């Protein structure tokens, strides 16, 4: 408990601790989106989104509920393909390669771009099998011991190993909400992605579990490009280096997190930051 309380304090230091003096955009750009539109049937959910997402940094999407944050996130790993009636326009490139190109293998793309969902969704299998699932379907492990190693190191990176090392064969659904979400992060990491998308990963968790995950995101930033959707501005401020503000399907403003929160240019962004847009 003391340890957890320490974590809460540490991550709630906010802003300055996470900030680089120089904008992270000066790093290589992993993802570029240009004029991305999404229609659900006749309804247009996104109106021309253009954004660059830098390597090994956390980019946060904020904005009121229903403004299209999740929709845009799902464009990045083509999860919208699984929704009937969803149509995506514009271009998104990962390392300069168009991910909507007809020749592109969606299955491989999703292995490179992992995703963590709003509600923890472990498979009704054992903890071990949850993490091993991705490596198994992609044939990443040559032997049982390879697989063991991937599972253990993924659980370690997700900060879950110590808590579950004695019960790897127990069902993943038996863990607490926060542990389940870290299991889902471990599951995503196990495939060896370069980018991790997180859609409100803490919205179903209590404050302590949230703090643990935020800490984890901060660590993962060393090795992964992370995009996180959150409706909590405090969370965006705590974990991200860049922030993009969405409103009604438009990207209103983007920039270094510090600038967005202390010095927003756009009136709508100001209103949202000040709590005037719900």
Ligand X SMILES: Nc1ncnc2c1ncn2[C@@H]1O[C@H](COP(=O)(O)OP(=O)(O)O)[C@@H](O)[C@H]1O
Nearest distance in Å: CB 238, ligand X: 20
Nearer Cβ to other proteins (27/125): 125
Q: Among Mg ion, other proteins, ligand X, none, what binds residue 260 when CB lies within 5 to 8 Å by partner kind?
A: none
Residues 184 and 122 sit within 8 Å (Cβ to Cβ): yes
Cα angle 193-141-96, degrees, rounded to a multiple of 5: 25
Nearest distance in Å: CB 145, ligand X: 41
Residue 117 in contact with other proteins, rule: CB under 8 A: yes
Q: Report the 3 state secondary structure along 49-64.
A: EEEEEECCCEEEEECC
Q: Which of 11, 24, 57, 70 binds ligand X (CB under 6 A)?
A: 70
Residue 122 in contact with other proteins, rule: CB under 8 A: yes
Which 123-162 residues touch other proteins, going by CB under 8 A? 123-125, 133-134, 137-138
Task: Give the position of tokens 């959150």.
Answer: 230
Q: Among Mg ion, other proteins, ligand X, none, what binds residue 210 when CB lies within 5 to 8 Å by partner kind?
A: none
Spatial distance between the Cα atoms of 247 and 233, rounded to a whole number of angstroms = 14
Q: Report the 3 state secondary structure along 117-150.
A: CCCCCCCCCEHHHHHHHHHHHHCCCCCHHHHHHH
Which residues would be at the binding site for other proteins (CB under 8 A)? Answer: 77, 79, 82, 84, 107-111, 114-115, 117-119, 121-125, 133-134, 137-138, 173, 184, 187-188, 191
């Amino acid at each position: 408990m003391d340890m957890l309380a320490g974590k809460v304090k540490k991550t709630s230091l906010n802003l300055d601790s996470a900030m680089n003096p120089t904008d992270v955009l000066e790093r290589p750009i992993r993802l570029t989106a240009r004029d991305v539109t999404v229609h659900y049937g006749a309804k247009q959910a996104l109106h021309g989104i253009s954004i660059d997402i830098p390597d090994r940094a956390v980019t946060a999407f904020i904005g009121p509920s229903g403004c299209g944050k999740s929709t845009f996130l799902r464009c990045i790993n083509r999860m919208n393909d699984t929704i009937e009636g969803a149509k995506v326009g514009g271009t998104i490139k990962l390392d300069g390669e168009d991910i909507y190109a007809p020749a592109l293998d969606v299955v491989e793309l999703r292995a490179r771009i992992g995703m963590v969902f709003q509600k923890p969704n472990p498979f009704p299998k054992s903890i071990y099998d949850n993490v091993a699932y991705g490596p198994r379907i992609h044939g990443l492990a040559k032997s049982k011991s390879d697989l063991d190693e991937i599972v253990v190191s993924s659980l370690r990176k997700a900060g879950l190993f110590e808590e579950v090392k004695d019960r790897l064969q127990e069902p993943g659904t038996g863990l607490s909400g926060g542990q389940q979400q870290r299991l889902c992060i471990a599951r995503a990491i196990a495939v060896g992605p370069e980018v991790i998308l997180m859609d409100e990963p803490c919205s179903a968790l209590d404050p302590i579990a949230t703090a643990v995950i935020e800490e984890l995101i901060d660590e993962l930033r060393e090795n992964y490009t992370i995009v996180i959707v959150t409706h909590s501005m405090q969370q965006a401020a705590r974990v991200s280096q860049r922030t993009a503000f969405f409103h009604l399907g438009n990207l209103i403003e983007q920039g270094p997190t510090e600038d967005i929160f202390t010095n927003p240019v756009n009136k709508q962004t100001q209103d949202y930051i000040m709590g005037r847009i719900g």
